Every structure is written in C-alpha cells, then in structure tokens.
Amino acid sequence: MKAFAQLFLSLDETNKTNEKVRILKDYFLSVPDTDKMHMLALFTGRRPKRPINATLVRTWAMEMAHIPVWLFEESYHVVGDLAETITLLLPKSTASSNKTLTEWIAEINGIATQAEEERKQWLLSSWGMLDTQERFVFNKLLTGGFRIGVSQNLVVKALADISGLDQATITHRIMGNWSPEDYQFADLMAAEGLSDDISRPYPFFLAYPIQETSEKQKTSGELQIALGDAAEWQAEWKWDGIRAQLINREGKIFIWSRGEDLATDKFPELHPFLETLPNGTVLDGEILSFKDNRPMPFNVLQTRIGRKNLSKKILEESPVALIAYDCLEYNGEDIRHKTQSERRLMLEQLRTATPFPDIFRISALINFETWDELAEIRGQSRSMIAEGIMLKRKSATYQVGRRRGDWWKWKIDPLSVDAVMIYAQKGHGRRADLYTDYTFGVWHGDKLVPFAKAYSGLTDEEIRKVDNFVKRNTLEKFGPVRTVKPELVFEIGFEGINYSSRHKSGVALRFPRILRWRTDKPMEEADTLETLKALL
Amino acid sequence: MSKKPLLEFTDRGIYCPIGRFYIDPWLPVDNAVITHAHSDHARIGHKRYLAHQYSEQVLRYRLGEIQLQTVAYGETVMKNGVQISLHPAGHVIGSAQIRVCYKDEVWVVSGDYKVEDDGISTPFEPVRCHHFISECTFGMPVYKWKPQAETFAEINSWWRHNVENNLATVIVGYSLGKAQRILQNLDLSIGKVYTHGVIENTNDALRRNGITLNPTHRITADVPKEDIRKGIVIAPPSAVGSPWMRRFNPYDFGYCSGWMSIRGAKRRRAADRGFVLSDHADWDDLISAIDATGCEKVYLTHGYTASFARYLNEIGFDAHEVHTLYGGDELTEADEEAPAPTQPPPGGEALLSDGESKVLPTGEDLGGATI
C-alpha cells in the first residue's frame, strides 16, 4: 500500500504529462504483478465492492475523531471529498503496516461478509496503522469515486512503453469484463493476445466537436478548409440515446454501454435480433426509445435507466431499439482497419438479413452535395429528435478513443433562456469550499420558479466573484444549500426541454449549463416560465 | 445599569469609545492602532498610526507618508486614560496582539496570529484577558499543521531535486511574512536565493528596520537564467502565470499556504507542489490559544466564524461571530504589486490584502451577526 499511496501522491505533485507517465512506469516496474493488476483495475474504474456503507464509515470516523455530526458535515463541505475529509479529521496513527495493495484489497473483500462489530474493529485498527497518505487512498477504496488526475490514456501509454505493444492493443485488452483476481499481468503484456474473453468490447471511437461554441458558427468556407471536399464525407444524424456496443460471439450476446458497463439485461427488446446475428458480429450504435417509428426524447429513455426491475409498464412506455452506426467485427474478424464505406456495406448486409428491421435499425445517411446544404439540413435536427450531425470521412478507419481528423460532431446550437440565480451550494474536488453549484429560476408572475441546476460554464475568475457574492448575499441556509439574494442573471443553455411532473416548474431540461454571465441584465429582465414552456 | 463595553464593533472597525481610538479600522479615522502591516489590517488614510517598531519601515513603504508612533512589545501607551500595549502575535515580523485595559477590564485583539515559532517573527505569547477578539481563518478541524521543520525538509529536498534536474525552482508566498519565513528556513548550501522585486522591497524595508535576513539577490534583466536555475526564486502570488515567471522556463513552482492542505484548493492553483505552511493558527492552536487567555467571552472576526463559534459554544466557551472586513476583500481585486502610494489612491483600490487570503475567499459567513 505504501507504493500505491506514493504513486497517488507523486501523480498529484505534477501537472506534466511526461512526468506522470514516468511515475506510472516506475510504479509498474517496482511492484508485484498482482499489485499492478489491482492498480489497473482501480484506475479503470473497477473498484472492489463497498464492504462497509458510507454512513457507517462516516459514523466510525466521527467517533474516532471526537467530532459532532454537524461539524463533520461542514468539514466535508470545506474539503469536498469524503475520503479526504476523513483522512484530515482522524487523529495521527500510532502503528504502521507493510501490507501490499493486493493484501489490503483481499482484506476489504473478505471483511464485507463479517458482522458489523468486526467490520468496525477492522476499520478502526486499519486507520490506526496507516499514515496520512495511505489513509487517503484506503478511504478512497472504501468510499468509491476513485477519480484521480490521470486519464486512462496515460496509464495505457505507460503500459505500452513497458511492453512494446501499441496503445490501441492495450486499450482493447483492458476493456470489458475482467477482475484483477483472475487477469494475469503476463497475459495483458503477452505479444499474442489471448482471445478467451468473448464478451470483450472494442474501445469506442469518439468525435470532437467541429464547432466549439454557438457564438462561433462555422461557415461553409471554414468547413471546406477544415474538412476538404464534401464528397469525401458521409453525414448522419447525431442521435441522443445511449451509445452502445452489441456483441454476438459463440451464440452469446453482450451489450456494453460507453461507460464500459455491461448492460445486456437492461435491454431485453434487443436480445431477439442480437441472437439472430451471425456468430462473430460486433455492432456500434445508439440505443433509443422508439414509438410509432419515431425516436422519443432522451428523458423517456432516462426513466428506465437505473431501474433494477423493468416492469411491463416501463417496457410498454419506453420500448427501445438500436440505431446502428458501424460494424466492428464481421464473421469473427476485427474489421476496424477497413474504411468507413467498406464497414458501412457490411453493416447494411447484416441489416438486410435481419428478421427484426424495426429493432435493428440503421443510421440513415444524409444526402448532401455541399457544406452549405448540410448546414441547412442541420437546422432540422430538432424536429428529427437528433442532437445535430455526425461527420465521418469515407476513408476513415475505426479508431480508439476521442480523435481529431476523421470523425466530427456538429451539434445544433443549444436552446437558451436568461435566468436568475436563487440557490447556491459548494462544489466538490477542485471546486471544494467554493460556491459553484447553482439553481436558477425564471419569473412566474412576481415569483422566481426554480427550473434548472447548472455546475459548469463559468471561468475560475467568474466563479470566484459569484462565490464572493453568495457569501455576502445569503438569505437563508438549509444544510449545505444557501438561498441567495436574487440579483445575478445568467444565460442558461440546454439541449432539450420536456414536461416533468417531478419538477416544480413542470419542465425538465437536458444538459443545462451556463452559457454566460449576463452582467448587463437586471434580474427583472430575466425570462419567464411562459417563455420557457413555449420551447416545449 | 449596563455599562458600555470597552471595545465596540462599528462600521469603521473595532473602536474604543473611552480611549477614542480604533484598532485596524478599514475606513479613515483619527487614531488607528495597527496589529500588523498586512493590507487588510493596515489601511491608508488615517491621521495617526500606532504600531510595533518592527512594522515601521514596512508601513512607511506600503502606506507612504504617515504619522506613526512605534512601541516595543509590552510597552504601555496611555490614550485618554486607557492603557494600550502590544504583545507578540507570531503572525509576521512585527505583528502584535493589542491589549486594551481600563479600570481592571482587559480586552485583547489578536489581529492575525500563529502559535508555532517560525524562527523569524517574535513568538506568540498568550495574554490573559476578559474579552478576546480572535481571528479564525483556519477554524475548521480539517486544518492541522505539521511542524514547520517537516515542511521545510520537503521544500529543501524538492529544491535540491530540481537543481539536479536542471529545473528552475520558484516558490510562492506573500511578500510580508511568508517570504521571509521561507528565506530564513531554506538550506542555503543548495544555492542562492533570488527574489521578485515586490518581495525584495519588503526585505529592504525590514533590513532598514534592523532585522537580519539571509542574503538575497533581486532579479533584474541582467541576472543570467542559468544562475537562477541553480538557485531558488521567491515570488509573490501575483507573479503566478505572469510573463515574469514564464521566463524561468523550464521551472517547477511550489505554493506555500495553509490552503494547500486541501487537495481541491491545491489543484485549483495548478501548482506543481503545494506546501502546507501557514502564518495562521490551525484548529488545535486556535482552541488552545483562546483557552490560554482565560477569557469570559470570545469574538470571532474572520475565517470560519459561524462553525467555529458554534463549536466553541458547545465545548463551554461564550463565543460570538462578528462581521469585519478582515481576511482579504476579494472585491477590491487586491494586488500586492501595487506600488507604495504617496497620495491616497482613488476609491479604495489600494486596500491590499495579504496573499494568503487570495488563494481562497476566507470570508465564510461574512454576513454573520454583528454585536
């Protein structure tokens, strides 16, 4: 654990990419193989199951630190991270421990089944033998959210440097359904990859935006310069659902969401078509709710995500289908190196053969001759229930991760209203102890009705100013939330708006964020609920 | 019959109606007693100043022509029958707690303070009193400092490592206090110490005051980059990200502040290294310092006043929040680099604040109750 804690500390101590890769390599070269795999699991979001729920961890930490509940809560709002709060509050440790990361994780997994009193004794004695930095990573293991200032790309780069394998291969090998207990470091590093995991998905190819903000609209001339001839590109609608990879290998089916979650059971409607695909097929596409041959807005799909049990009612109200974008594996062969156009043909062949054309749909190609024409078509996105347009170079291979060059997304401009900030709450992580999470209201008669929360969109400098305003203009406090004197006006952008019975305002927004601070607008000139509802 | 308190909290600052003087007022007054030379405590525009003798040259450098009387620690000055004396606060060189005594009633205003001996400021001494007016910048239990020897061991080994790797080393701390504390605790066997002009001006003022500091070299256009790379640069917070700093490239920069004990605050600063080094008392030291005064009542002026007051009340103190303008007024866009004005500048722009407060707004609960 000392080496792992030091790794964490060292990574925190530099902002330089090369330095981070060097630190990761040093770690890989100095710890036992089992520790390497555990580290890799943690850095790719594969955390051990929580052995003790967060409430008990908090309670026992408060006991050990002799701190009342309210002070613990306020400390947490100052620090913005539970594991770190506990670390800072606990008294200095009195012993030390040389257990490895592997040994600690085995203990964590083992303690989960013990009685509460034993878990408590184990936790208190564990805290007692770990130094500050070790405690921090230990608490992270226990409480979840293992986010660190290192992208998976850097970890992959370090492994690629060590093994001599290319980064795409490593990225592929650490995807899917593996656990550090049964995946060997030697297998990960082997020259010839083992293809024993039939569920393993490919890394997704992701696009960057071609147009950064709605204020800077791309002209057709700019597109011509950036992308070249329109004839070299295929265009599709950018659908707003759940990006997924669907696999049929050896008669077994798997559905992976982009967050690398195995979601096969969440979409039973897709199973029949998936089962009829030829052995050795992998599709990339978007899962959406469909009714009467039309995609439904994302919030309809949202009602069934996260449900443990899919009731008959939900399946009827929000039936899903797939809009396929791409084919990555055909007849058991990885075809990612083929061109977009070649893969498209294979995808179309699969589609033609399916007995389930309403479920296995295909993303239609948009006919266009010039960039001007496409810009005009883009204006119809909202009526298509699409988020905009995807551009794919006809000669593009299917690449790994977010890459510039061959795939671009060209989203429609967000909808927007001017709203007044009415509540504020402190943020987390690097926004700890700053008021960064705001609730906004629009006018309904002479009252401001809350309709959206937004966390992003301001610069650090603006955040400092708003934070200062909040501290000086607090009307009431409800736990961590402060009611703020209504005064500051912001332009709030969002991708979509729908009726909602769960919200006071009667509407729910998709991806609300702050577009800019309207220091030029008095709050009386903010928009009304009627204006907002007119966008429905 | 209730008697008037010896000190009152007014919209100009802490006021003694019998003695007719203010302590660290933020609006112009006739008589100002100053705890220390940081800009949120020592402001421009008062008719007469009273401060510790070690603050003299820094105050004159920062405030220009002022009418200033100085005293030593423990020396008593009478004002309209009220005894005033200054006692070490340990915050920066020349910082003082102000003891005010009238007819056996004693009040103490802490200004800013720390309990640990930093090796350059006269160490904090608790003063018995009936009423204690205390800061609580770091009045949350997550703030606990380790001994400075440990932090300086980290700083020196980081510096040595940078020199070995041919990287320039820039260490950031505010110009009065932190800069000298760093200077006096660096391991000078590693290399020379170079300073930003703002810091060197403060060093010069302190040297004029008879204070002995380790040797420093002011950075000018003539100093070769290669020399600087073998040494260490002490820079003020305002230099971070400036062209002045970029010319040391490639460099590693470390930030010294109490806020660095929180990972989020450190990441926000985007410093290569964050060193936990504060000139304010931590949680445990605040409580023990308040306890040591034996006071009947404690008033909390700036920092986490609401939470800290609540906790003190729970453990048996009679604690109250007070609304003041100490602790860095973010809205004034304070900048340490402003030159020493000789004329009062327009509209409060020179209300400089100490750099530590600039890392984070410290004014949690600035809207707290006034008594």
Least confident of A493-502, B201-210, B308-317: A493-502
- Chain B hits for A429, CB-CB cut-off 8 Å, are 264, 267
* pLDDT at residue A491 tops 70: yes
In this predicted structure, what is the pLDDT of residue A147? Answer: 67
Residue matched to tokens 């990441």: B267
pLDDT band at A195 (very low <50, low <70, confident <90, very high): low
Characterize the bridge pairing of strands A320-330 and A360-362.
Answer: parallel
- Chain B hits for A78, CB-CB cut-off 8 Å, are 140, 142, 262, 304
* Residue A454, φ and ψ in degrees, nearest 5: -140, 145
The verdict on a CB contact (< 8 Å) between A67 and B272 is: no
3-state secondary structure of B338: coil
List, for residues A263-279, the tens digit of each pLDDT value: 898 999 999 999 999 99
Q: Tell me which residue in A78, A149, A468 faces B142 most closely, judged by beta carbons.
A: A78
In this predicted structure, what is the pLDDT of residue A432? Answer: 78
In this predicted structure, what is the pLDDT of residue A301? Answer: 87
In this predicted structure, what is the pLDDT of residue A197? Answer: 78
Q: Check residue B133 and report its DSSP letter.
A: E
In this predicted structure, what is the pLDDT of residue A24? Answer: 95
Is any Cβ of chain B less than 8 angstroms from the Cβ of A70? yes
CA distance A135 to B11: 46
CA distance B319 to B136: 12
Say if residues A326 and A285 touch (Cβ distance below 8 Å): yes
Å between B357 CA and nearest CA of chain A: 12
CA distance A284 to A247: 9
* pLDDT at residue B336 tops 60: no
In this predicted structure, what is the pLDDT of residue B356? Answer: 36
3-state secondary structure of A435: strand
CA distance B250 to B240: 14
The verdict on a CB contact (< 8 Å) between A79 and B272 is: no
In this predicted structure, what is the pLDDT of residue B152? Answer: 97
In this predicted structure, what is the pLDDT of residue A274? Answer: 97
The verdict on a CB contact (< 8 Å) between B141 and A65 is: yes
pTM attached to this predicted model: 0.79
3-state secondary structure of A89: helix
Residues in chain B: 371
* pLDDT at residue B194 tops 50: yes
Q: Check residue B280 and report its DSSP letter.
A: S
Is any Cβ of chain B less than 8 angstroms from the Cβ of A17? no
Residue type, A262: L
CATH code of the domain occupying A205-411: 3.30.470.30
Confirm or reject CATH 2.40.50.140 for domain A415-534, answering yes or no: yes
CA count, 13 A, side-chain hemisphere, B86: 26
* pLDDT at residue B348 tops 50: no
Least confident of A118-122, A182-186, A347-351, B286-290: A182-186
Q: Tell me which residue in B141, B268, B272 faces A71 most closely, judged by beta carbons.
A: B141
In this predicted structure, what is the pLDDT of residue A331? Answer: 95
Q: Check residue B145 and report its DSSP letter.
A: P
CA closest to B253 among chain A residues = A14
* pLDDT at residue B354 tops 70: no
Please enumerate residues of B whose Cβ is less than 8 A from a Cβ of A.
140-144, 261-268, 270, 272-273, 304, 307, 310-311, 314, 330-331, 360-361, 363-367
3-state secondary structure of A368: coil
Is any Cβ of chain B less than 8 angstroms from the Cβ of A460? yes
- Chain B hits for A14, CB-CB cut-off 8 Å, are 272
In this predicted structure, what is the pLDDT of residue B359? Answer: 31
List, for residues B75-97, the tens digit of each pLDDT value: 999 999 999 999 999 999 999 99
If you average pLDDT over every residue of chain A, what do you get? 90
CA closest to A68 among chain B residues = B311
Q: What is the mean pLDDT of residues A113-142?
A: 94
List, for residues B237-259, the tens digit of each pLDDT value: 889 888 999 889 999 999 999 98
In this predicted structure, what is the pLDDT of residue A273? Answer: 95
CATH code of the domain occupying B148-275: 3.40.50
Of B31 and A458, the structure prediction assigns the larger pLDDT to B31
CA count, 13 A, side-chain hemisphere, A106: 9
CA closest to B269 among chain A residues = A430
CA distance B348 to A32: 61
Residue type, A306: G
3-state secondary structure of B178: helix
The verdict on a CB contact (< 8 Å) between B267 and A433 is: no
Q: What is the mean pLDDT of residues B151-175?
A: 95
CA distance A253 to A277: 10
The verdict on a CB contact (< 8 Å) between A78 and B140 is: yes
Q: What is the mean pLDDT of residues A173-190?
A: 87
- Joined together, the tokens standing for residue A311 give 């009731």
E strand intervals along chain B: 8-10, 13-16, 21-23, 31-33, 48-52, 67-71, 76-79, 82-88, 96-102, 105-109, 131-136, 168-172, 193-195, 217-218, 232-235, 251-256, 273-275, 297-303, 319-321
pLDDT band at A131 (very low <50, low <70, confident <90, very high): very high
Is any Cβ of chain B less than 8 angstroms from the Cβ of A66? no
In this predicted structure, what is the pLDDT of residue A166? Answer: 86
List, for residues A88-111, the tens digit of each pLDDT value: 999 999 899 999 999 999 999 999
The verdict on a CB contact (< 8 Å) between A70 and B273 is: no
* pLDDT at residue A457 tops 90: no
pLDDT band at A117 (very low <50, low <70, confident <90, very high): very high
Q: What is the mean pLDDT of residues B149-168?
A: 96
* pLDDT at residue B368 tops 80: no
pLDDT band at B340 (very low <50, low <70, confident <90, very high): very low
Which among B303, B332, B298, B327 has a CA at the least distance from the CA of B315?
B298
| Segments making up each domain of chain A, as ranges | 2-143, 205-411, 415-534
pLDDT band at B319 (very low <50, low <70, confident <90, very high): very high
CA distance A288 to A296: 7
In this predicted structure, what is the pLDDT of residue A45? Answer: 82
List, for residues A289-311, the tens digit of each pLDDT value: 998 888 988 888 887 887 778 88
- Chain A hits for B310, CB-CB cut-off 8 Å, are 70-71
In this predicted structure, what is the pLDDT of residue B353? Answer: 36
* pLDDT at residue A196 tops 70: no
Q: What is the mean pLDDT of residues B132-151?
A: 96
CA distance B210 to B204: 10
The verdict on a CB contact (< 8 Å) between A464 and B262 is: no
In this predicted structure, what is the pLDDT of residue A148? Answer: 67
* Sequence ranges of chain B with CATH classification 3.60.15.10: 8-143+279-359
In this predicted structure, what is the pLDDT of residue B12? Answer: 93
List, for residues A307-340, the tens digit of each pLDDT value: 778 888 888 889 999 999 999 999 999 999 999 9
If you average pLDDT over every residue of chain B, what do you get? 87
Roughly how many angstroms between the first and final C-alpha of chain B, as a whole number? 19
- Joined together, the tokens standing for residue B229 give 């790379």
Of B270 and A424, the structure prediction assigns the larger pLDDT to A424
- Chain A hits for B364, CB-CB cut-off 8 Å, are 471
The verdict on a CB contact (< 8 Å) between A464 and B364 is: no
In this predicted structure, what is the pLDDT of residue B271? Answer: 79
CA distance A158 to A24: 6
Q: What is the mean pLDDT of residues B265-288?
A: 89
Say if residues A341 and A365 touch (Cβ distance below 8 Å): no
* pLDDT at residue A237 tops 90: yes
In this predicted structure, what is the pLDDT of residue A214? Answer: 65
Residues in chain A: 536
Q: Tell me which residue in A75, A84, A465 faces B263 most closely, judged by beta carbons.
A: A84
CA distance B144 to B260: 11
Q: Check residue A267 and report its DSSP letter.
A: -
* pLDDT at residue B263 tops 90: no
* Sequence ranges of chain B with CATH classification 3.40.50: 148-275
Is any Cβ of chain B less than 8 angstroms from the Cβ of A81? yes
CA count, 13 A, side-chain hemisphere, B341: 15
Q: What is the mean pLDDT of residues B106-123?
A: 96
CA closest to A85 among chain B residues = B142
Residues B141, B146, B148, B152, CA torsion sign: negative
pLDDT band at B339 (very low <50, low <70, confident <90, very high): very low
- Chain A hits for B365, CB-CB cut-off 8 Å, are 471
3-state secondary structure of A236: strand
Whether the link from the prior residue into B250 is cis, omega within 30° of 0, is yes
- Chain A hits for B140, CB-CB cut-off 8 Å, are 74-75, 78
Å between B101 CA and nearest CA of chain A: 34
Q: Tell me which residue in B141, B267, B314 faces A89 most closely, judged by beta carbons.
A: B141
3-state secondary structure of A504: coil
* pLDDT at residue B304 tops 80: yes
pLDDT band at A13 (very low <50, low <70, confident <90, very high): confident
Which among A275, A281, A294, A273 has a CA at the least distance from the CA of A245?
A281
Residues A69, A74, A76, A79, CA torsion sign: negative
The verdict on a CB contact (< 8 Å) between A71 and B367 is: no
CATH fold of the domain at A2-143: DNA ligase i, domain 1 (1.10.3260)
- Chain centroid to CA A87: how far? 27
CATH fold of the domain at B8-143+279-359: Metallo-beta-lactamase; Chain A (3.60.15)
Q: Check residue A201 and report its DSSP letter.
A: P
CA distance A194 to A181: 17
Is any Cβ of chain B less than 8 angstroms from the Cβ of A188? no
Residues A296, A298, A300, A306, CA torsion sign: positive
CA closest to B251 among chain A residues = A16
Q: Check residue A231 and report its DSSP letter.
A: G
In this predicted structure, what is the pLDDT of residue A194? Answer: 58
3-state secondary structure of A454: strand
Question: Residue B271 burial by CB count (10 A; 0-12/13-18/19+): exposed, middle or buried?
Answer: buried
List, for residues B264-273, the tens digit of each pLDDT value: 877 777 778 8
Q: DSSP letter string over B87-106?
A: EE--SSTT-EEEEEEETTEE
Characterize the bridge pairing of strands B131-136 and B105-109.
Answer: parallel
- Chain B hits for A474, CB-CB cut-off 8 Å, are 367
Beta bridge partners of A420: A441, A489
CA distance A519 to A521: 6
- Chain B hits for A74, CB-CB cut-off 8 Å, are 140, 304, 307
pLDDT band at A80 (very low <50, low <70, confident <90, very high): confident
